[in-house]
Amino acid sequence: MEIYKSYLDNIRAALANEIQLSAPEVMFNEDRKRSLLEEQKQLLKKTKNAQPLPSLQDLSSDWGLRPALNQKLGLHPDFQHLKYENGVEYHYIHSMFIDIKGSTNLFKYYSPLVVAIVTNTIQIAAIHTCMVFGGYIQRLHGDGTLVYFGGKQQTRSDSVQRCLSAASLFTHFMKTDIKSFFESRGIKPIYTRIGIDYGNDDDVLWMLAGAGEASEVTTCSLHTSLAPKMQANAKGNGIVVGDNVVGLFPSEFYSPVAARLGEEHRYIFRNQAKNFNYTQYDFDWETYLVQNEHIATNHFNGTIHIKPRQVKVVQPTTGLASIAAVSNPYYGNQVG
């Protein structure tokens, strides 16, 4: 299964229409031009679909996930009561900041409508991926997206793995599908950078920010603030996580950012008065995906496929009557 095929098809169609629009036979054919422009508008509309596109829906089904769809931006359902009560509450959360880089370069080659289709399609792929894994979209910052993972019905260990899985799959999409798509057209590829951190119950204050309809239920937490900062220290198509994530999900997938950028980048936050030094780590998402039991990786071309869930096969009972006749525990006293 090609997880992001539907999204890539959307981008491919937009670029194909753009080429047709610049063809001489179309430039002077108003009907054909209007038809192609209408197709482009429909492609843009598709990026606003609340439901994941078909290829990502298949992932949700095959992996047995229950996507958190039909969300309201900035309104995590477990804390939405705070919007009306104007109260506060402490509760853990994983914060993920996804940024899309390099999209400005597309204006050298394409019209604003096509750039909008490309960037919106990529951002909605990120949003849908997070939704499929149970994430809640908190805020959009241009090409950036802030997402929360976790809540009152999820364990910390489950939510951190969902968070890392979503980030890893989306990063793979950007590093393979998107990269090769634009490089084959001689265009410097778009890429992503992601930062993730975890704040425990005592470290995350949920509250209402803003006033009236110009408001959102959000978190006030060092660790929510650190996620975008760690994103800025990630390499292209890389993921950086905080010390708390490593403590919650220990594994061999981490290496200090200092090993890549130098010792001055070991800590993402320091409070010398409290002797508090918070380390940031590169997350080896590629190895994480390779070792994931649900994912098969093609070592020749780097593509990944989701392994369908194993379905337990129940053998038919036809022909077992003779065995059951001498095995009363099977049929009880119903067999004569």
The per-residue pLDDT for range 147-165, each reduced to its tens digit, is 999 999 889 999 999 999 9
Domains for the chain: give ranges and CATH numbers: 67-334 (3.30.70.1230)
For CA atoms 34, 36, 39, 45, the dihedral sign is: negative
Poorest-confidence range of 69-78, 94-103, 117-126? 69-78
User: With contact defined as beta carbons under 8 Å apart, do 188 and 254 qualify?
Assistant: no
Instruction: Please report where in the chains the tokens 């229409």 appear, as a residue.
Output: 17
User: With contact defined as beta carbons under 8 Å apart, do 118 and 18 qualify?
Assistant: no
Q: What pLDDT is recorded for position 191?
A: 96
Q: What pLDDT is recorded for position 180?
A: 93
Q: Per-residue pLDDT for 187 more than 50?
A: yes
Name the band, by pLDDT with cuts 50, 70 and 90, for residue 331: very low
Q: Which amino acid is at 29?
A: N
Q: What pLDDT is recorded for position 138?
A: 95
Q: What pLDDT is recorded for position 251?
A: 85
Average pLDDT, the chain: 83
Q: What pLDDT is recorded for position 62?
A: 67
In the chain the first and final C-alpha atoms are separated, in Å, by 51
Residues 6+ apart with CB under 8 A from 109: 187
Q: Per-residue pLDDT for 49 more than 80?
A: no
- Helix (H) or strand (E) holding 39, with range, is helix 30-46
Name the band, by pLDDT with cuts 50, 70 and 90, for residue 320: very low
Q: What pLDDT is recorded for position 100?
A: 95
The burial class, CB within 10 Å (0-12 / 13-18 / 19+), for 167 is buried
Q: Per-residue pLDDT for 7 more than 80?
A: yes
Q: What is the pLDDT of residues 23-33, one digit of tens each?
A: 565 555 566 65
> DSSP string spanning 288-325?
HHHT-TTEEE-TTT--EEEPPPPPPPPPP-TT-HHHHH
Q: Which residue has the higher pLDDT, 274 or 3?
A: 274
Calpha distance 132→154 (Å, rounded): 15
Calpha distance 14→217 (Å, rounded): 36
Q: SS3 for 194?
A: strand
Q: What pLDDT is recorded for position 24?
A: 60
Residue 270 CA, distance from chain mean position: 29
State both tokens at 198.
């975890």
Q: What pLDDT is recorded for position 39?
A: 72
Give the percent of the chain with pLDDT over 70.
77
